[in-house]
Each structure stands twice: as C-alpha cells, then as structure tokens.
Structure 1
C-alpha cells in the first residue's frame, strides 16, 4: 500500500500536480476543525500528530494540550494559564532568593533548576546537579524548546512537561539502541555501512542513548526536530529509532570513507542544517512504511513499543 501511494505521488508530481498544497490545505482544515470545539478531543489531536506534521502556528498550543499544560476545556484556558504563570513566577523567585541563578545562568539550566526545585530535589552542590542522569537530556530538550519560543513561561512548562512525559521511557532506551541496530541491518541493503560501523565500534561509542534521551534536540536543526517531536508527543517514540537509522544512511558515503572511530563520532554529533529535512523526511518515510502512521493512540498517554 505504501509503495503504491509513493508511486502515485511520484507520478502526479511528474505531471505537474502540487500534492503538497493539497495536503497542507487538508491539514489546515482538519486542525482548525479540531481546535474550534469547546472541548478538545485529545485522542483526535494525537492521531492528527501521527498522520501529519502540525502547522507551525498551532504546534505549541496542541503540544500544551497533549502534555497536560492546558485543559481540554477551552473556556478554562485563561484561568489555567494565569495559574501556570503564577507558579512559574513563584519557582523562579525561589531560585533567585536562594541565589541559585543569576543573569549569567544559561536559560536551559535555569529551567532545569526550576524543575528540580518544583520536584523538591534540587541539590546544594552544582556538581551534584550536573551528575544527575537527567541533566544532559533535560538541557537538550530545553534548548530545543527555547529555539521554538521566546516566551520564558512557555519554555518552562513545555520543557518540563515534555521531559516528564518522555522520562518514563528511561528503561526502554537500551532496547531502542538494540532496535536501531536491527533496523539498520534491515535498511542497509548491502550491509557495507553496518559492518563498517561495527568494525570501528561506532555503535558502541556513539551516544545513542543521549540522542534518544534528548529527543535529538541537540543533534537535528530546530527546523527539523519539531516534526519528530510531533510524533513523540502524539504517542510514538519508535520514530526516534528511524531518525537514528536515517542519520546513518544519509551520511553513508562519508562514513565509509572514514577509518577513525573518533572522526566518525565527531562527524555524527551535529547534523548540518541543510541536511536536517532530508534526515527527517527519510525517517518519516521509513516509519510510515513500517506502519507508524497506523498507530491508534489511547485516550491516556500512549507509548508505542512496536517496530
């Protein structure tokens, strides 16, 4: 079915039809229809995130509803937003009084300290905070959120709620690494790249778990990772496996030309901005080919564990 759809899309494009415009129009009509209801349907919003990428102008609002920052009742949004704003100010003021933040403190670190203070587990020593296994993953997500909005209150709530939602996957990160290896072997037709990475221990030394824990916020450019986060917030963390595989396959040729493990790991740590969309598009295509778009999210937070 996927191959037939892709062939038809290719044929229509060759004939001059603009299918992208039709899809964008369909997306806009559908999301507007979902957002005009006084009570938002979380199930349908999640399903929309899995079927499409959210239009930029609605992305943050939909994320906030799906992450529980805003309630499903739109009449209550103003009241809840006011309460969220006050809570942000109280936590930020608490850190200021404790002299744990200053004007020189990076914004993402401020957000992490606020998160820890709100959780009642902010350590006295800064070094202990940086040893926290959640530290690098939270900062990666927070930097990604900060690149999407300049609103400090939005930055805090989206970062903390997304991290809390995603943090429940901690026990599955190693299995995601194992599934990445399986998927790479499947997608790398001649296995040249797989054997090359294996011989140079790249798969052992590359911080794949850090990639997953930070949801590629520090790896992909901001114009690309937001489409991946749509799927994760929609209920499918499996998309992250395909992103990792897509990165390997996209840079197959330069990787095969390298014989130094450190050079390959350094090369893979930061994806060039002009390659981000290609990586994400290929990842989404693989994900869809394997049935990702068919996932039916539950009314509660759904964690897709299929591959």
Structure 2
C-alpha cells in the first residue's frame, strides 16, 4: 500500500497534479483576512511558491506590504513614490542616468546609505583594526535602523527644509526656486546617508550623535544651514549643477561651521517648536 501511495504521489507530481493542489492550498491561505504570516511561512518551507504568487507573497513575508488587504495598495503607492524620489535624486546627483542598468540602479540606491560606512571608518576611534571592524558593523547596523525610521518621513523633512529656508533666507530661497534648484536637490541622498560625503568626517560625528538617539530632524537644520552658509556662492550659481559642485566641495572648516550652527539652531526652542508643529500638523 505504501509503495502504491508513493507511486501515486510521484505520478501526480510528474503530471503536475501536486503543484495544482499546492496552488489551491496557497489560494485558500491568501483569502484569509488578515493574512496569516505564520501559515504562509510554513507553506514556503514545505512547498515551492507558484510563480504567479511569488512576488506578492515575498512582499508580505518581507514586510514590504501589510497583512491587511485594505492597506496594501496604499502602502505600495508609498513605496513606489519613495523609490521614484530616490531614483530622481540619484539622477540629479549624476550617479545614474537613462542608460544605467537596473541592477546598478539598485546598487547605487544602497550605496547612498553605505556612504555612512566609509565615513564611519574614520569616525570610530579604536586602535585595534579587528575591534574597529566589529564596532563598525554593529554601530552601522544601529544607524541603518534609524535611517529606516526616517525614510517614512523624508517627504516631511524636505517640506520642513523648504519652509525653514524661506523663513531664514528669503533671497536665497527665491533664487533657488528661480533656477529650478530648490525642489530638485538630492535631499533623499543627503538624508539617507545622514550627510556622509557632504559634511567632512571630522565634523559629522556631532550630527550622528543626534541620529543615534532618533533625533533625525536635525538633518533639516543641517540642510538649511549648509545652504545659508554657502549663500554667497550659491547666489552666483545659475544652475543646479553649479549648486551641487559648490555643496560637494565643502571644506573641513566650513563643515565645522555648518555643524555647529545646525546644532545651535535645533537647540533654540522657537525654531525647534516650529518644526515640531509642522510634523504634528502633517502627521
């Protein structure tokens, strides 16, 4: 009898019956509201996921979309917008272009955050290289957790940057708008990398002190102070390319000035309250 069952199972699998049954089982699981991730994980462990459902199932299991079907379309729209914002920022920064292959685009997006790794190597003060590597791995992991949190509010961070710049320096604000630069600067890259590669290594640790405790709104002040500190040079620029060239060549001395001003600005209660009120209003 056992041999007969084994033969039958092998025969069904050979002609495709088993995959049909597995597909039906998965379809039943996918009809549950909300989706049961435990059951879906068990299915993946036991069976091969049918190709037609693989993309959707992976997104659920990797927490890209929620288990609640009524929220999935909205969340994916947000994910798409986030992807497009970062892609646009990479184009503006001339890291990718229309001819960049898809897999290299994804690599560039990851590298936008991995700039932090290069900077962190110079920031961590440990004599033993082995200990330094261990510390760097875990500190970087923690910083990435904070970056993941701020990703959800990148849009608000940008809007606050516009509003604060207009309040602090109307002339510069209008000039950047006029040359079509204000809304096209690579804020996504700046925020995701916490200004690694923009602010010099000797000064950036002061900013990251705040990031480690989740105070990522300081990035708004770093962005605004960077622009206002460079205002004399930026007012002479007539294109976004010239703006980026200026920002990408900040000296160590200027970096120190920017960081100190940004920290001082966020510590001023009035300015901080303004940003907090904006976030509360748009939450």
Normalising by the residue count of structure 1, what TM-score does the alignment of the two structures yield? 0.51
Which residue does 2:134 correspond to in 1?
153
Is 1:232 matched up with 2:207?
A: no
1:247 aligns with 2:226: yes
Q: Is the 8 A contact 2:180 2:239 kept in 1?
A: no
1:244-275 Cα shifts (integer Å, max 9, x gaps): 00001101111112223211122112421111
Alpha-carbon contact 2:173-2:182 (below 8 Å) kept: no
1:269 matched to 2:248? The reply is: yes
Conserved 8 A contact 1:218-1:270: no
Equivalent residue number for residue 166 of structure 1: 147
- Bigger relative contact order (CA 8 A; separation at least 6): 1
- Cα distance in 2 for partners of 1:178, 1:293 equals 15
Q: Residue 192 in 1 paired to residue 178 in 2? A: no
| Structure 2 partner of 1:204 | 183
C-alpha offsets along residues 211-253 of structure 1, whole Å, 9 cap, x if unaligned? 0010011110111110011112123111100000000110111
1:136 aligned to 2:111?
yes
Q: 1:262 to 1:256 in 2, by over 3 A?
A: same
Secondary structure of 1:185's aligned partner: helix
Give a deviation string over 1:71-105, Cα, whole Å, max 9, x none.
xxxxxxxxxxxxxxxxxxxxxxxxxxxxxxxxxxx
TM-score w.r.t. structure 2 length? Answer: 0.55
- SS at 2:152 equivalent: helix
Query: Where do residues 1-307 of structure 1 align in structure 2 (5 Å cutoff)?
Result: 128=103, 131=106, 134-149=109-124, 150=129, 151-188=132-169, 191-290=170-269
1:105 aligns with none
SS in 1 for 2:237: coil
8 Å contact kept, 2:143–2:211: no
Deviations 1:156-178 (A, max 9, x none): 11112211232122121121111
- Provide the aligned length of Structure 1 versus Structure 2: 171
Larger radius of gyration: 2
**1:290 Cα deviation after fit:** 3.4
| 1:266-296 deviations in Å (ceiling 9; x for gaps) | 21124211111100111112111136889xx
Residues in 1 aligned to 2:249 and 2:152: alpha-carbon distance in whole angstroms: 25
RMSD: 2.6
For structure 1, the 5+ residue unaligned runs are 1-125, 295-303
Asked if the contact 1:238/1:305 (under 8 Å) is kept, the reply is: no
Partner of 2:82: none
Unpaired segments of 5 or more residues in structure 2? 1-100
Q: CA deviation at 1:306?
A: 6.5
Deviation at 1:132, TM superposition (A): 5.0
